[in-house]
A and B are shown apart, each in its own frame.
Chain A
Amino acid sequence: MPNSAGKRFKPTKYIPVSTAATLLVGSTTLFFVFTCPWLSKVISAAVPLYNGLVFIFVLANFSMATFMDPGVYPRADEDEDKDDDFRAPLYKNVEIKGIQVRMKWCATCHFYRPPRCSHCSVCDNCVEDFDHHCPWVNNCIGRRNYRYFFLFLLSLTIHMVGVFSFGLIFVLHHRERLGALHTTVTLVVMCIAGLFFIPVMGLTGFHMVLVARGRTTNEQVTGKFRGGVNPFTKGCCGNVKYVLCSPLAPRYIVDPRKKPSVKIQPPFIRPDLSDRQVTVKVSDNGIHSTITSSKSKKRLDAPDDNETQPPLPPKADRYNQLKSQLTSSEESSLSGKTHPSTPAMYKFRPSFGTMPKVHYHVTGEKIVMPDECKTSAILEEGVRSHDYKSEPNLDLPEYTNAPLHRTFQSSPFQLDSDTINSRTLSLKQGQRRPEKGQLPALQLQTVISTPYKSIFSPNTLSNRNGSLSYDSLLNPSLSPVTASECMSHRGMPSMGFHSPYLPTKMCHIRESEMQRHQVAPTYSPVIPSRGMGRHSPHPRDRDPSPVRYDNLSQTIMASIQERKEIEEREKRMRHGRSQTHIYVQDSGLFDGGYNPPPNACYPDGPRGPGSRGPTPPACGGSRDNLMGVGVVTYGQRTPVLRHAGSTLGRVPRTSSTSLHTDHSSTNSSHSKTTAPEGSYRSPAHQTHSPAMPRSPSYSHQKLSYMSAHERTDSPHLGGPREVMKVNGQMDCHPSAQGTTISPSRHSNVKKVTGVGGTTYEISV
Chain B
Amino acid sequence: MSTEFHNLQELRRSPSLLTKVFIQRDYSEGTTCRFQTKFPSELDNRIERPLIEETVKTLNSFYMEAEKIGGQSYLEGCLACATAYFIFFCMETRYEKVLKKISGYIQEQNEKIYAPRGLLLTDPIERGMRVLEISVYEDRGSGSSSPSSSMSSAGSSAR
Contacts and interface: CB of A to CB of B under 8 A. Distances in A.
Given A64-B85, A266-B15, A354 B140 contact: no
B31 interface: yes
A662 to B, nearest CB: 50
A14 interface: no
Contacts of B67: 246-247
B159 to A, nearest CB: 11
Contacts of B57: none
Contacts of B39: 458
A476 interface: no
B66 to A, nearest CB: 7
Given A76-B127, A268-B118, A278-B45, A114 B95 contact: no
A479 B120 CA distance: 38
A248 B76 CA distance: 9
Interface in B12-68: 13, 15, 18-22, 24-25, 27-31, 36, 38-48, 66-68
A226 interface: no
B113 to A, nearest CB: 9
Contacts of B89: none
A387 interface: yes
B42 A244 contact: no
A351 B20 contact: no
B117 A73 contact: no
B147 A435 contact: no
A434 B117 contact: no
A387 B145 CA distance: 7
A250 B99 contact: yes
Contacts of A73: 128, 130
Nearest to B133: A80
B69 A459 contact: no
Contacts of B28: 94-97
A742 to B, nearest CB: 44
A356 interface: yes
Contact of A254 (B114, B126, B143): B126
Interface stretch (A269-277, A490-498, A568-576, A621-629): A269-277
B34 to A, nearest CB: 11
Interface residues of B, number: 78
A269 B42 contact: no
A264 B115 contact: yes
Contacts of A60: 81, 84-85
B45 A384 contact: no
Contacts of A269: 116-117
Interface in A287-312: 295, 297-300, 304
A259 B21 CA distance: 21
Interface in B78-113: 80-81, 84-85, 88, 93-96, 99, 103, 107, 110-111
B66 A268 contact: no
B7 interface: no
Contacts of B143: 295, 297-298
Contact of B144 (A281, A352, A454): A352
Contacts of A170: none
Interface in B124-152: 125-131, 133, 136-149
Contact of B46 (A80, A300, A384): A300
A238 to B, nearest CB: 8
Nearest to B113: A269
Contacts of A206: none
B20 A268 contact: no
Contacts of A151: 81
A468 to B, nearest CB: 17
A259 B110 CA distance: 12
Nearest to B131: A80
A181 interface: no
Contacts of B42: 348-351, 354, 458-459
A37 B129 CA distance: 52
Contacts of A300: 45-46, 139
A524 interface: no
Nearest to A82: B20
Contact of B41 (A254, A268, A295, A459): A459
Contacts of A278: 44-45
Contact of B141 (A74, A245, A268): A268
Contact of A101 (B27, B47, B139): B27
A282 to B, nearest CB: 8
B41 A247 contact: no
Contacts of A270: 45-46, 117
A252 B73 contact: no
A56 B84 contact: yes
Contacts, number: 230
B44 A245 contact: no
B84 to A, nearest CB: 4
A465 to B, nearest CB: 10
A97 B142 CA distance: 47
A264 B120 contact: yes
Contacts of A115: 27, 31
Contacts of A350: 19, 42
Contacts of B20: 79-80, 349
Contact of A244 (B48, B77, B142): B77
Interface in A550-584: none
Contact of A455 (B21, B41, B72): B41
Contact of B45 (A64, A94, A281): A281
Contacts of B44: 276, 278, 353-354, 356
A59 B88 CA distance: 16
A482 interface: no
A299 B115 contact: no
Contacts of B21: 459
A554 B148 CA distance: 44
A344 B144 CA distance: 24
B145 A383 contact: yes
A722 B3 CA distance: 69
A76 B120 CA distance: 18
Contacts of A22: none
Contacts of A273: 45
B104 to A, nearest CB: 10
A462 B38 contact: yes
A263 B30 contact: no
Given A262-B107, A266-B13, A266-B15, A298 B142 contact: yes
A95 B27 CA distance: 7
Nearest to A349: B19
A194 interface: no
A395 interface: no
Contact of A353 (B13, B45, B149, B153): B45
A267 B139 contact: yes
Contact of A247 (B15, B66, B139, B144): B66
A723 to B, nearest CB: 42
Contacts of B131: 80
Contacts of B66: 247
B144 A248 contact: no
B38 to A, nearest CB: 6
B84 A232 contact: no
A454 B41 contact: yes
B120 A384 contact: no
A459 B117 contact: no
A166 B42 CA distance: 69
B145 A97 contact: no
Given A232-B30, A266-B141, A354-B44, A246 B73 contact: yes
B149 A380 contact: yes
A242 interface: yes
A287 to B, nearest CB: 14
A463 B22 contact: yes
A385 interface: yes
7 contacts: A57-B84, A114-B31, A250-B125, A298-B139, A435-B19, A459-B41, A462-B36
Given A252-B129, A353-B46, 7 more contacts: A94-B27, A111-B130, A248-B76, A250-B99, A259-B107, A299-B139, A387-B147
Give the 6 A-B residue pairs with the shortest CB-CB distance, closest first.
A266-B141, A298-B142, A267-B141, A458-B41, A349-B19, A353-B45
